[in-house]
Amino acid sequence: MMEGHVRGQYEKEVAVVTGGNRGIGLEICKQLASKGVTVVLTARDEKRGAEAVKNLASQGLSNVLFHQLEVGDLSSAARLADFIREKFGKLDILVNNAAIAGSKTEISNPESFKLELAGMNAQEKLERIRRHTTDPYDKAEECLRTNYHGTKIVTEALLPLLHLSSHGRIVNISSRFGLLRFFSGEELKKELNNINNLSVERLDELSELFLKDFENGQLEPHGWPVEGGYPAYKVSKALANACSRIIAKKHPTLCINCVHPGYVNTDMNFHTGVLTVEEGTRGALILALLPKGGMTGAYLDCTEVASFVVAVVTGGNRGIGLEICKQLASNGITVVLTARDEKRGAEAVSTLGLSNVVYHQLEVSDPSSAARLADFIKEKFGKLDILVNNAGITGTTSNVGDLETFRQELAGMDDLMERIQTINKHITEPYEEAEKCLSFLFCSPHPMEGLLTCHLTMDYSGSILLQFFSGDELKEELNNIDSLSEQRVDELSELFLKDFKDGQLEARGWPKEGGFISYKESKALANAYSRILAKEHPSLCINCVHPGYVETDMNFQVGHLTVEELS
């Protein structure tokens, strides 16, 4: 063990930090080393790097060693990989920190400029710096080469060594400027957000296209981020973010995440940042020291999870909804678990114990509750990527006597239909329950940008489901999406309830046989509604899914599938 080496939990871990000779990178080296991690501090300049290591050693941190690394240079990255392989045989943590601003700022007297900025907030400071800044092409090119290609080059060189760790982690130091909200082109935003269709090769192409548009003065018409300046920095960080997500998907055993450090007092912003380097490295430290199986593909805004993908799950406090929340969250998605009951919702969130699941109240049949949820999402995330409309009720009341005995009776039946028929004998379908069942339908949050709606319904498509309807005309109407409107679906819901009240269900062709009448009706209307919405919003993916007969409270826990199997 080296002299001054800190013993502890992380003693056997090895980290590489790029651009470690100053600013945030240097502080990350210091923090990791003081936790006992062996740190390979890298810098493009031998002298600056060696000085930084000497400086840390003088603070008692002798578990830091230097290796040269120019991040944009393939052979430099390969030499670093050889060194790590030979010396340690594996790598546990890679922090991709090195970056440049990609612009030219000329401040004649930095000291008086600092005084001029004193008392201003972060936004005002950035605007004032901007007045002294230009964006020449050569800087833009260097910026893409360092921030995007450099991150990729180092990651690719060290990935094999990260796989030799018991749980490799990559931390990409990103920036708020890399968020897609700075892009003006909707198509470009969508393409960069849709990781499932994106490849690293396409990101390389986009990097080329950006530089070409830069040279030809075509940034604005082609939707690149122009307003507020720093276009190359913004694009480089957005491409690095997308690359991080693609690699996280490809390497699910590693934890690969991004973090925006905040506006940190470093050379990059002429020491005008509002956070100290200690404060600016907290998020990076969380990600660097994630436990095995920790989150991946996510994005921290300082220390808070602000994932790239945000999902809302209705009725998320138990059953299928809770499992969907769990599965989405374990895939790095920020989940807003909603429940009508505050206490049950909060309990579900704490049971999951995942930092990227938040609770929000939602009674799906209450438009004002849905509007409050929409406001919350707009404010907190600015967008929604996934909506899972899961909340539902059966529209029945049951009288099964002792629940456990009833469950055992059902569990003894192999035949699914036999189970359902037995349940049928114990249920009644009062009008009030039918009304509640139908009211679950139409108050789900309205589609927002990038929204994917997924109704959990009785069967795969409206036409299959309609087999439960006895009236052919009704079936045809509900199946013929081209002539159906949202208003007509609302009307049909009203008509159904009226016929229910008047005892006219059978006569009018509504589903009657086999019970669960309003449940069938509500799901058939939800399917039709989903298909209408899908047609109206062709840029969104709006689909229905029948989860199977899943063990949940809805069927007295006697489904054929477990909640894990459904996902």
Ligand X SMILES: NC(=O)c1ccc[n+]([C@@H]2O[C@H](COP(=O)([O-])OP(=O)(O)OC[C@H]3O[C@@H](n4cnc5c(N)ncnc54)[C@H](OP(=O)(O)O)[C@@H]3O)[C@@H](O)[C@H]2O)c1
Q: Which two tokens stand for residue 551?
A: 């063990």
Q: Shortest gap between Cβ of 373 and ligand X (angstroms)?
A: 31
Which residues is 172 bridged to in the sheet?
96, 258
Let me know: does 247 contact 239? Beta carbons within 8 Å. no
Under the binding rule (CB under 6 A), the answer on residue 267 touching ligand X is yes
* Nearest-angstrom CA–CA distance, 278 and 284: 11
User: Contact with ligand X (CB under 6 A): which of 241, 266, 317, 365?
Assistant: 266
Q: Shortest gap between Cβ of 53 and ligand X (angstroms)?
A: 13
Residue type, 25: G
User: Contact with ligand X (CB under 6 A): which of 53, 61, 72, 92?
Assistant: 72
Cα Rg of the chain, angstroms: 28
Residue nearest to ligand X (CB): 23
Distances (CA, A) of 386 to 16, 147, 309, 346: 35, 30, 8, 21
Q: Shortest gap between Cβ of 19 and ligand X (angstroms)?
A: 3
Q: How many residues bind ligand X (CB under 6 A)?
A: 32
Under the binding rule (CB under 6 A), the answer on residue 555 touching ligand X is no
Query: Among the candidate windows 95-103, 108-116, 126-134, 467-475, which touches ligand X by CB under 6 A?
Result: 95-103
* Nearest-angstrom CA–CA distance, 313 and 328: 10
User: Contact with ligand X (CB under 6 A): which of 24, 246, 258, 309?
Assistant: 24
Task: Pick between residue 75 and residue 480 the one whose CB is nearest to ligand X.
Answer: 75
**Residue 380 exposed, middle or buried by CB count within 10 Å (0-12, 13-18, 19+):** middle
Q: Angle at which helices 122-130 and 110-117 pack, to 10 degrees?
A: 140
Q: Is 233 a catalytic residue?
A: yes
Instruction: Check 10, 148, 230, 233 and give the catalytic one.
Output: 233
Let me know: does 32 contact 65? Beta carbons within 8 Å. no
Q: Shortest gap between Cβ of 498 and ligand X (angstroms)?
A: 60
Under the binding rule (CB under 6 A), the answer on residue 272 touching ligand X is no
Estimate to the nearest angstrom the gap between the alpha carbon of 379 and the chain centroid.
Answer: 16
Q: Shortest gap between Cβ of 271 and ligand X (angstroms)?
A: 9
Q: Which two tokens stand for residue 300?
A: 């921290």
Q: Shortest gap between Cβ of 290 and ligand X (angstroms)?
A: 19
465: CB partners within 8 A, 6+ apart: 457, 458, 459, 520, 523, 524, 527
User: Position of tokens 């307003």?
Assistant: 227
99 to 158, contacts with ligand X by CB under 6 A?
99-100, 146, 150
Query: Collapsing DSSP states into helix, strand and coil, what is residue 558?
Result: coil
User: Position of tokens 């509007």?
Assistant: 371
User: Contact with ligand X (CB under 6 A): which of 34, 63, 155, 175?
Assistant: 175
Q: Angle at which helices 486-501 and 472-479 pack, to 10 degrees?
A: 150
Q: How many CB atoms lie within 10 A of CB 294?
A: 18
Under the binding rule (CB under 6 A), the answer on residue 98 touching ligand X is yes
Query: Among the candidate windows 94-102, 184-192, 421-429, 553-561, which touches ligand X by CB under 6 A?
Result: 94-102
Under the binding rule (CB under 6 A), the answer on residue 29 touching ligand X is no
Query: Among the candidate windows 14-22, 243-251, 398-406, 552-560, which touches ligand X by CB under 6 A?
Result: 14-22
214 to 253, contacts with ligand X by CB under 6 A?
none
Task: Pick between residue 44 and residue 455 the one whose CB is nearest to ligand X.
Answer: 44
Q: Shortest gap between Cβ of 443 and ligand X (angstroms)?
A: 40
Query: Among the candidate windows 91-99, 250-258, 306-314, 484-492, which touches ligand X by CB under 6 A?
Result: 91-99
Distances (CA, A) of 531 to 98, 264, 457: 48, 48, 12
User: Contact with ligand X (CB under 6 A): which of 70, 135, 213, 385?
Assistant: 70
Sites of contact with ligand X (CB under 6 A): 18-19, 21-25, 43-45, 48, 69-72, 97-100, 146, 150, 173, 175, 260-261, 263-264, 266-269, 273
Tell me which residues are annotated as active site.
Answer: 233
